[in-house]
Amino acid sequence: MALVVQKYGGTSVGSIERIQNVARRVAKAYDEGNDIVVVLSAMSGETNKLVALANEICEFPSEREYDVLVSTGEQVTIALLSMCLQSMGYKAKSYTAAQIPIRTDSAHTRARISSIDDQRVREDLRNGTIIVVPGFQGVDPEGNLTTLGRGGSDTSAVAVAAALKADVCEIFTDVDGVYTTDPRIVPEASKIEKISYDEMLEMASLGAKVLQIRSVEFAKKYGVVIHVRSSFNDNPGTLVMKEDPEMEAVLVAGVTYNKDEAKISVMRVPDKPGIAAQLFTSLSQSNVTVDMIIQNVSHDGFTDMTFTVPHGDYKKAMKIVEGTATGIGASEVKGDEHIAKVSIVGVGMRSHSGVASQMFACLAQEGINVHMISTSEIKISCIIDSKYTELAVRVLHESFGLSGEDVQQETL
């Protein structure tokens, strides 16, 4: 007998039929002799609707009230699933985050979980009850409702699994697992059987959208094994877990891309101490996060600097940088919105040489120019013209031998 936390995302609970389908899955796992705690998202589209309502009422809704509003989507689904399970003859009970409680800090709209009380849940589990709790919700030390940021139900599920020392945290979604790349671009992409926390963190922050990044950080910290799988079939999904020697043997685990960045270059910047600090302090003060940075070798006391920012912040960043550039005596600021970042990720890179050269050669062969490069121990990212994104992803996927035959994607 195991303690299983099952989390179902928005599409999995998107209609009454689908909630009934979830209830059957939960019941099956229970009948197999497991203790079950279910964590639910709101019905798909529901949170967006609530956010839109808030924005219709006023331009800058108070964050406290925003949380009271948007956390209601999850309260709907937990009650409906509990009712459904009860009607099937099971003992089931929903609890809101405040009732458990799932405690967070007071950072409304992006709160962090600090602790989860397991007493109530354990008592209920002992008498055979299926527990249903909302994702995304929390309660701060003053008793205010909080939310964890969009996609936060994944983190709720992992945190609940950690608090209960569950055997596994199953994250049910509308895809079969984590793929070697986006199957919409490469139909031969294959499902990854198991992936390390660090690889998953890189993949998630580089563009793969299966899990909220924070949930993976949480899982790594507490050693929670995550099983990402589909709620529409019984196929085994992807295990996100501690690194093992088999993972090291694979050169590259996945290829990701992100078209959501823009590039800014500052030309002929005086090469002296304090200049970079000035440039980037003005950006950080305006909450613009900078990703890659390159400083060229300097000539005659001047250098060029290039960096990337989120696409949504491009115009704002250009304005700030143009202002600062004049102040520090730079000659010109150039921007490029049509770039993309393609990356390869894999723990195998740590112990194998030649991965970077293979990536560059592969891009060169297709005539794709690399504008910027950044690396970590387990990833290599290149900035290229965005029009080549799909081509780059396809050739890299092919070159590192990631294509599989048994590829299946759930179409909804």
Site residue total, ligand ASP (CB under 6 A): 11
Give the burial class of 274: count Cβ atoms within 10 A of its Cβ; 0-12 exposed, 13-18 middle, 19 or more buried.
exposed
- State the number of binding residues for Mg ion (CB under 5 A): 2
Structure token pair of residue 193: 């059987």
- Under the criterion CB under 6 A, does residue 14 sit at the interface with ligand ASP? no
Give the span between the Cα atoms of 143 and 213, in whole angstroms.
26
> Does 348 sit near ligand ASP (CB under 6 A)?
no
Tokens of 128: 């055979």
| DSSP-assigned letter for residue 297 | P
Binding partner of 77, given Mg ion, ligand ASP, none, CB within 5-8 angstroms per partner class: none
Shortest approach of ligand ASP to residue 47 CB, angstroms?
3
Residues 227, 341, 243, 189, CA torsion sign = positive
- Work out how close the CB of 128 gets to ligand ASP at its nearest, in angstroms, rounded to a whole number: 28
Buried b (16+ CB within 10 A) or exposed e, 219-234: bbeeebbbbbbbbbee
Instruction: Pick between residue 42 and residue 380 the one whose CB is nearest to ligand ASP.
Output: 42
Of 77 and 343, which CB lies nearer to ligand ASP in the complex structure? 77
* By the rule CB under 5 A, 177 interacts with Mg ion: no
> For residues 328 and 381, what is the distance between their CA atoms, to the nearest angstrom?
30
Of residues 47 through 106, those in contact with ligand ASP by CB under 6 A are 47, 73
Looking only at residues 142 through 161 of this chain, which bind ligand ASP when binding is defined by CB under 6 A? Answer: 150-153
What is the distance between the alpha carbons of residues 31 and 19, in angstroms, rounded to a whole number?
18
- Say whether residue 134 binds Mg ion (CB under 5 A): no
Asked if omega into 183 is within 30° of 0 (cis), the reply is no
Listing DSSP states for 368-384 in one string gives: PPP-EEEEETTEEEEEE
Residue 101 contact partner, candidates Mg ion, ligand ASP, none, CB within 5 to 8 A by sort of partner:
none
138 counts as binding ligand ASP under rule CB under 6 A: no
Work out which of 61, 135, 207, 346 binds ligand ASP, going by CB under 6 A. Answer: 135
Single out the residue of 4, 5, 6, 9 in contact with Mg ion (rule: CB under 5 A): 9
Residue 152 binding Mg ion, by CB under 5 A? no
What phi and psi values does residue 240 have, to the nearest 5 degrees?
-105, 115
| Residue whose CB is less far from ligand ASP, 158 or 255 | 158
For residue 9, the one-letter residue type is G
CB closer to ligand ASP, 136 vs 197: 136
Among 8, 90, 95, 136, binds ligand ASP (CB under 6 A): 136
Q: Does 151 bind Mg ion (CB under 5 A)?
A: yes
Q: List, in sequence order, every beta strand (DSSP E) within 175-215.
A: 194-196
Name the residue nearer to Mg ion (CB basis): 256 or 386: 256
Residues found near ligand ASP in the complex (CB under 6 A): 10, 41-42, 47, 73, 135-136, 150-153
